[in-house]
Chain A
Amino acid sequence: MTVNGLLEGGDFKALSLVEGEREISGVYIGDLLSWVMGKAKSGDAWITIMSNVNILAVAALTDCACIILSEGVTLTEEITRTAKAKGINVLTFSGSSYDAAVSLEKLL
């Protein structure tokens, strides 16, 4: 499933969509950024509640397919601009990280 495909259902909404055809090959959940840096894999959809600029760097480092902000968390305008400039897909989801993972499990 691609990031665009994920958006079609309507539960996930795009905050920064740069590479919609990126394939999602797995899922990782975590909020401790240094931990995610070492654990998330290339192609993962990474679910987190963190929304500071550092998440973009972690996504770039791990080459994850997209960041999914759970609990309806969004980005500031400035960080959204940075996400687009750095080529990072960022989506938001209104439910918990668990709910987001359950939705992904059905879709992937």
Chain B
Amino acid sequence: MKELALNILDIAENSVKAEATLAKISIEQTDTQIILTFTDNGIGMTEEIRQTVTDPFYTTRTTRKVGMGLPLLKLEAEMTGGSMTVTSKHISEDPINHGTEVCAVFYKNHIDCIPLGDVVETVATLIQGHPDTDFLFTHKTEEKEITLDTRELREVLEGVPLNTYEVIKWIKEFLKEQYIN
């Protein structure tokens, strides 16, 4: 993909599809790396799926025979000398602590590393499309840490849906302000 932000959107959608009530998206930037971590409490993957998850011909969709989200993320990470790992516990293995974690490491000084892109837009799009899922977004750079927790928003909003125009607009402003200051 042209931007990592689009990968973030794609992978976070997997958490929603896995019926997660909370999807954590973390971006951590060091002087040499960008680390993307996705952690959810969805239904998780069975051993069989874990084995085939980076096979582009495997899919969770029934309408097409390939699912490209994780294979592309893996390829893009490896193209920079980095890597991607997937750990998951299926609901049948552990009825309480189930879910999936995807971690991708990019070396940002590698010439093939794609730019991060518009993260604010990605987060807003996710919340807009899935107002009933909770998202915890954190972006840690060497200078600062940007955070958005929809659980906190929900408490304040007292029943106002998160995909309300004003709420989405506020979320974008809230994130943008954190990036500027």
A residues at B contact (CB < 8 Å): 32-35, 37, 52-54, 56-58, 60-61, 86
In the complex, the answer to whether A32 meets B56 with C-beta atoms within 8 Å is no
User: At the interface, yes or no: B6 with Cβ under 8 Å from chain A?
Assistant: yes
Q: Interface code B70-82, partner A: CB below 8 Å = 1, 0 otherwise?
A: 0110010000000
23 A-B pairs, CB-CB below 8 angstroms? Answer: A32-B1, A32-B2, A33-B68, A33-B72, A33-B75, A34-B1, A35-B2, A52-B75, A53-B56, A54-B56, A54-B68, A54-B71, A54-B75, A56-B57, A57-B56, A57-B57, A57-B66, A57-B71, A58-B68, A60-B57, A60-B65, A61-B64, A86-B57
In the complex, the answer to whether B1 meets A60 with C-beta atoms within 8 Å is no
Which chain B positions have C-beta within 8 A of A53?
A: 55-56, 71
Tally B residues with Cβ within 8 Å of A: 13
B residues at A contact (CB < 8 Å): 1-2, 6, 55-57, 64-66, 68, 71-72, 75
Which chain A positions have C-beta within 8 A of B72?
A: 33-34, 54
Which chain A positions have C-beta within 8 A of B71?
A: 53-54, 57
Smallest CB gap from A82: residue in B = B57
Smallest CB gap from B55: residue in A = A53
Which chain B positions have C-beta within 8 A of A35?
A: 1-2
Nearest-neighbour CB distance to chain A for B106, whole angstroms, equals 16
Which chain A positions have C-beta within 8 A of B57?
A: 56-57, 60, 86
